[in-house]
Amino acid sequence: MIRSAAVIALILAAAPASAAPPLAGVATQPSAAQPFAAPRAGFLPSTTDAGAASAPAGPGVTDADKPYGAFQRGFFATALAQATERLGQNPKDGAAMELIGEIYAQGLAVREDPAEAARWYKLASDNGDRQGSFSYGLALLRGAGVPKSPAAARPYLEKAAAAGHAGALYNLGVLTLQADVDTRDYVKAADYFQRAADLGDVDAAYALGNLYKAGEGVPREPARAAALFKTAAEERNVAAELDYAIALFNGEGVPRDEAAAARWFRRAAASGNPVAANRLARLYAAGRGVRKDSVAAARWHLMARAAGVPDPWLDGVLAGLTPADKAKVEDGMRRTMAN
């Protein structure tokens, strides 16, 4: 997954500055997650919409759909053979080229070969395949099978974006924000993210929410930011889950709701976000939004600390546990590790 530099500092405040301890002690702490993360480049047929093209082969499925159906059902050698057969019938079949590229990229029924995958992606792009243009642009961004070159990637992403590819629009927004400070264009990035979000790209919705939160390229609108965080959070974007929890806890753009914030912190923490685990630990320790539970606080604190988020105040909570409670924490950690 391509990730940009941290072009916008995420201030993850678990409580407003005026709040009383213990939460005020972590009023500002950057997230472990970057604000902008490129979407996965997984297989997505590009000549029709995703739902139609990914239908499994069966009665009524046309010959043109058969390679995709075989791919989706896990018959990768069959998909490769059928895509190759299609090329024999039509040497300009960009969709078949893209599928072959994906098979080589993932090493499915063949040896994984990024260079061969990139070659097929470029051929697909040259023959008008939208996904091929995106996949080749992403290969250039990653340096996967070709020399890494964001500049060379841009025209391929623009080609895919012009055909309505949400992932390409999102990555163009990221590239726009990765420019030098003097040439960085937040307005243009916001436009890319908005267009991608309108097409259902969850990462773009989260990125756009950060721009509305900071007032970069768009007006500063906490309510709009919170709504975008909620949209992305409901689609299991973990960083958005964390930011939406923060918005709920602080009442930033949404009515303050500590219990709902705790639920979103727990969801992000359960997905492995250490900052969310730290915030959830503090809520348990203070009894904010949840029933006070020092054992649960210690358990989530240990998870966060092991992942690189220290908290001296919570160390004190841990140290103050009774031997019986420490044993409960250890037992909980063992069961968590076993799962």
As a whole number of angstroms, the distance between CA 53 and CA 43 comes to 11
How does pLDDT run across 159-200, given as a tens digit for each residue?
Answer: 999 999 999 999 999 999 987 877 889 999 999 999 999 999
Predicted confidence band at 300 (pLDDT cuts at 50, 70, 90)? very high
Tokens at 112, concatenated: 């994984």
| pTM of the model as a whole | 0.80
More confident residue, 58 or 122: 122
pLDDT, position 125: 98
The answer to whether residue 49 scores a pLDDT higher than 90 is no
How does pLDDT run across 256-291, given as a tens digit for each residue?
Answer: 999 999 999 999 999 999 999 999 999 999 999 999
**Domains of the chain and CATH, by start:** 1-36+201-339 (1.25.40.10), 40-163 (1.25.40.10)
